[in-house]
Amino acid sequence: MMGLGQFDPTILWPETTTTSPAQLDASDDDEFDESLRAKTPNVSPVQIAAGDVIVVAESDQFFTPEGADAIRDAVAALESLDQVDRVLWMDRAPMLNIFGLPEPILPQRNASPARFQAAKERALANPLIGGQLLSSDAKTLLLMVRIDWLFVTDDDDCTDALREAATAAVADHPGVEMKFQVTGEVPIRVSWAASTRDNERKYQMIGYSIALVIAYILFRGLSSVVIVALAPCFGVFWTLGLLHYLGFADNPFNSVIVPVLLCMVGFTDGVHMMVQIRRHRAEGMSATDAARLSIREVGLACWLTSLTTAIGFGSLALAHHEIVREFGYCCVIGVMMTFISVVTVIPLACASPLGRNVHSGYGHNLIDKNLSKISVVIEFVLRHFRKVSVAAIIVTLVLAAMTLQLRPDQRLTSNMSSGSESAMALAHIDKQFGGMETAEVTVQWRKEVASNDAEIGRVVAEVDDLLRSEPLIGNPLSIRSLIDALPGDGDPGTRMSLLELLPPPLKRAYFVPERRIAKVVMRLQDVGIASYGPVFQRIEQGLETIRRSHPNFRLELTGSAIGRWKNLYRIVVDLAFSLGTATLIIFAVLTFVYRSLRLGLISMIPNLFPLAMTGFILLVTGENLEMVSVCAFTVCLGIAVDDTIHFLTRYREELKTAPNGTEAIRRAFVGVGTALVMTTIVLIIGFSTALLSDARDHRIFAAMGILTIGSALFADLVMLPALLQRFAHQKETENEAAAP
């Protein structure tokens, strides 16, 4: 976010003197910086929208004798709690009368219905209450609670305890129907943490159980399933212990995504290893010889898949966001631990008494029985390899170009359950008040402008009108709002002197004369920063127009949401940079290992197609590019390249004995087809369990994983054989395969 001291005058300031631009910039910045450093009286400004916790009260009886008593008792019950410092609500809003006398909004119980109706109208007309603490239909009331953290001992002290206290107080008024919910910064964080804890074990157990059941159906042997499952289990166990030791345990993606992800990655390599061991055992080899030969056959492929997956994850370390960087580190650690587990645990277990009957059921699982039907695909591809290869390249490039059209986005409730109390209360505030989060336009003027100059009021009024013209901007609040609420007529400029009649804490919330600044505060809904992008652009253009009419003023749009909007381009940069870097490194690694630039280039299409397809589906379904999407894209690259490596490794091995390249492709297809289909099925089922999560981020991650893994299988069984047949010349690849 660009602070006032970092303001670029070339954007908003015209060249009105003969001074050079550099000199003008420096003098203007010095002048405004000086104003910000000015000493201010020791007066705490009133903050209407500030509160650690927001208690949302809903009722249509606030302006009735019974309802007024009930809400007063609810507030008293809240303030009686040790952890509550104070509560700001409608009845304690700052006074706007010119004498500063206390004037509670709600009348006493014995007041007439007419007085209650007048109080309701007066509350809605008060700019500090209507649209700020009381909804326009007078059925929703916000209680802004400040917490005394010295007395907080449990999460419930900031959530359930507040709601229960208010509800219990209203229960003493049987004729009143009033509902309470809690939201705000603290409850949102608590809700996110609770959702993460709930999901951590539940969805891991669901995913692991389903994966084991499917593996048993595919392998048709209990010992094979147990051995394959041991490797990822050990890998996850070692990884989580290491992450706790290194201090990465609090990362929001580590509780659900990392364990499931590592289990899926470990299971993938484990299946390839187990398929080879079972094949050799079925051919009559001893357990030790079968394990030793299988390591030689697929060990390199497993190492390459782990290396390239780690590269994909490691590219996240280049991201600007700390959570994304930590997630990348954790995945790299996990992939390495899982690889060590796969190449040690599975061979050792197969050579032990547990692996005595590991080949039981070989050749009778669903994939082996139907592989001949799947082989029809390879024959079709080899007959039409030119058309298929050209289509693969064109489709991949087109989908990749469309993926680049994804817009960055971010919202407060992305990692929360949509059914949680905090999320529902926040959605209600968005609807009734125009949003919970705030941003502001800072109006600053030069020294020659007096603090009571009428031009200040006119500029603020123009900014206020600009903000009110945007439907997504909720209830702007400024000195213009305060002046308009005072008795008398006239425009805000001619009535600037009335500000002196307001209580200092109230006035200074929006007007600080010694610093030569005024603020216009607005509310923002949690609909995603992408939706606000065009709004903020129009506001900045409108501010530029206002500034041109008032050259002695500087206007700036500020706030945490504005900062996120201005910095969201980094999400796109992070994605492009991390994916680009990972792709180039993976290309270099494959080129070096296979000693073929041609094979390295061929591998790029089946590796990029799954990502391009996933991005295209996100685009057409109206999704945006969020932080979880950046993580998912990079993770998916690491997973997608695994199948390509296994196919290419087997293809090069078959070149040594096959009569020609076409036959080598057929043998590679048959040799790894079973493992590719089996791992894809298990991975998709494993990721699909995260679709049951309450957290939107987890569901997006899982959906992207499923789309990428399914697309990767298609790319490696259809596109890759066609590309090899079209571009991998037989003589060249045979020579490369024979090279030491």
Question: By CB neighbour count within 10 A (0-12 exposed, 13-18 middle, 19+ buried), where does 563 fall?
Answer: middle
Question: By CB neighbour count within 10 A (0-12 exposed, 13-18 middle, 19+ buried), where does 537 fall?
Answer: exposed
Segment 129-145 mean pLDDT: 92
546-558 confidence digits (pLDDT tens) = 999 999 999 999 8
Q: Does pLDDT of 576 surpass 60?
A: yes
Higher pLDDT, 577 or 472: 472
State the chain's mean pLDDT as an integer. 79
CA distance 341 to 262: 11
Q: What pTM value is reported for the model?
A: 0.68
Name the nearest CA neighbour of 643 among 601, 671, 612, 615.
Answer: 671
Specify the pLDDT at position 98: 54
Q: Does pLDDT of 673 surpass 50?
A: yes
Q: What is the 3-state composition of the chain as percent helix, strand, coil, each rounded to the nearest 5? A: 65, 10, 25
Instruction: Check if the beta carbon of residue 728 is closer than 8 Å to that of residue 602.
Output: yes
Specify the pLDDT at position 597: 86
Q: Let me know how many helices (H) and strands (E) the chain has, helices first.
A: 25, 9
Question: By CB neighbour count within 10 A (0-12 exposed, 13-18 middle, 19+ buried), where does 533 fall?
Answer: middle
Handedness of CA 348, 354, 356, 358 (dihedral sign): negative
Do you know the residue count of the chain? 740
Q: Which of the four pLDDT bands, split at 50, 70 and 90, describes residue 197?
A: low
Segment 644-667 mean pLDDT: 86
Instruction: Check if the beta carbon of residue 473 is closer than 8 Å to that of residue 561.
Output: no
Q: Does pLDDT of 243 surpass 90?
A: no
What's the one-letter identity of residue 354?
L
Q: Does pLDDT of 51 surpass 60?
A: yes
Name the nearest CA neighbour of 215 among 288, 260, 274, 256.
Answer: 274
- Cα angle for residues 296, 721, 725 (degrees, 5° grid): 105
Integer CA distances (angstroms), 344 to 348, 349, 378, in order: 6, 8, 34
The pair of structure tokens assigned to 111 is: 């007041």
Q: Does pLDDT of 302 surpass 60?
A: yes
CATH topology of domain 365-411+576-730: Multidrug efflux transporter AcrB transmembrane fold (1.20.1640)
Segment 522-542 mean pLDDT: 88
Q: Which of the four pLDDT bands, split at 50, 70 and 90, describes residue 217?
A: low
Specify the pLDDT at position 18: 33
Segment 702-727 mean pLDDT: 89
Please state the separation of Cα 617 from the chain's center in Å: 18
Q: Does pLDDT of 94 surpass 80?
A: no
Q: Does pLDDT of 164 surpass 90?
A: yes
Specify the pLDDT at position 368: 54
- Structure-derived torsion over alpha carbons of residues 349, 355, 361, 362, reported in degrees to the nearest 10: 60
Q: Does pLDDT of 498 surpass 70?
A: yes
- Which helix (H) or strand (E) segment holds residue 108: the answer is none
Segment 693-715 mean pLDDT: 82
What is the DSSP secondary structure assignment for residue 439, as one 8-state letter? E
Least confident of 46-60, 159-173, 386-400, 703-717: 46-60
Specify the pLDDT at position 444: 93
What is the DSSP secondary structure assignment for residue 415, as one 8-state letter? T
Instruction: Check if the beta carbon of residue 377 is closer than 8 Å to that of residue 716.
Output: no
Secondary structure (DSSP) of 455-484: HHHHHHHHHHHHHHT-TTEEEEESHHHHHH
Q: Would you call 714 helix, strand, or coil by DSSP? A: helix
Q: What percent of the chain has pLDDT over 70?
A: 79
659-671 confidence digits (pLDDT tens) = 888 888 888 888 7
Specify the pLDDT at position 200: 59
Specify the pLDDT at position 135: 92
Segment 224-237 mean pLDDT: 82
Q: Where are the domains of the chain?
A: 53-183, 365-411+576-730
Instruction: Check if the beta carbon of residue 439 is closer than 8 Å to that of residue 562.
Output: yes
Instruction: Check if the beta carbon of residue 722 is closer than 8 Å to that of residue 714.
Output: no
Name the nearest CA neighbour of 314 among 299, 330, 303, 301.
Answer: 330
Least confident of 57-61, 135-139, 403-407, 425-429: 403-407
Segment 58-68 mean pLDDT: 93
CA distance 315 to 292: 33
Least confident of 146-160, 658-672, 684-698: 684-698
Q: Which residues pair with 146 in a beta bridge?
A: 86
Q: Which of the four pLDDT bands, split at 50, 70 and 90, describes residue 441?
A: very high
Higher pLDDT, 252 or 84: 84
Q: Would you call 472 helix, strand, or coil by DSSP? A: coil
Q: Does pLDDT of 364 surpass 80?
A: no
Give me the sheet containing 53-58, strands edge to edge. Answer: 84-88, 140-147, 53-58, 179-183
* Most confident listed range (102-111, 185-194, 249-258, 435-444): 435-444
